[in-house]
């Protein structure tokens, strides 16, 4: 075989083997990122709930110095909703990588079954 043919065969083999591995790694990273965002959303919701419980206890006890609790609640509430929005809007096709906007069984960009 000629050198050019050997290089072409090696390039095809490399792309088939390591391209697959790279796609799997990117899919795994995307999965891990969704888990991290879900954990952040849960933590923000729990902190928000605990903060409002503490705020209610303070107000019920007659202590109206609630500025710190109000700031904590004001930060946790938007973080929760941003995380949920990112989780809902970040669904991508595993084949072409385009964002999927509708719930369906086929990708609207490449036409493959999801």
How many CA atoms are closer than 13 Å to the CA of 105, on its beta-carbon side? Answer: 0
Q: Looking at residues 41-69, what average pLDDT do you find?
A: 89
Task: Answer yes or no: are the C-beta atoms of 8 and 61 closer than 8 Å.
Answer: no
Mean pLDDT for the chain?
A: 76
| C-alpha to C-alpha distances, 28 to 20, 21, 32, 78, nearest whole angstrom | 12, 10, 6, 27
Crossing angle of helices 67-89 and 3-61, in 10° steps, is 150
With a threshold of 0.75, does the pTM exceed it?
Answer: no
* Percentage of the chain exceeding pLDDT 70: 69
Has residue 21 got a pLDDT over 80?
Answer: no
**What is the 8-class DSSP label of residue 79?**
H
What the block records as the tokens of 109 is 């960009």
Distance between CA 65 and CA 103 in Å, rounded? Answer: 47
Collapsing DSSP to helix, strand or coil, 92 comes out as strand
Has residue 105 got a pLDDT over 90?
Answer: no
Has residue 96 got a pLDDT over 60?
Answer: yes
């Amino acid at each position: 075989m000629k050198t050019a043919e050997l290089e072409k065969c090696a390039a095809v083999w490399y792309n088939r083997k390591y391209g697959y591995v790279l796609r799997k790694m990117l899919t795994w990273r995307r999965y891990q990122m969704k888990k991290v965002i879900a954990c952040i959303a849960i933590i923000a919701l729990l902190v928000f709930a605990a903060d409002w419980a503490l705020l209610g206890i303070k107000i019920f006890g007659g202590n109206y110095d609630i500025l710190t609790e109000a700031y904590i609640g004001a930060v946790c509430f938007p973080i929760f909703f941003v995380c949920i929005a990112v989780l809902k809007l970040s669904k991508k096709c595993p084949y072409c990588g385009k964002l999927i906007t509708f719930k369906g069984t086929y990708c609207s960009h490449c036409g493959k079954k999801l």
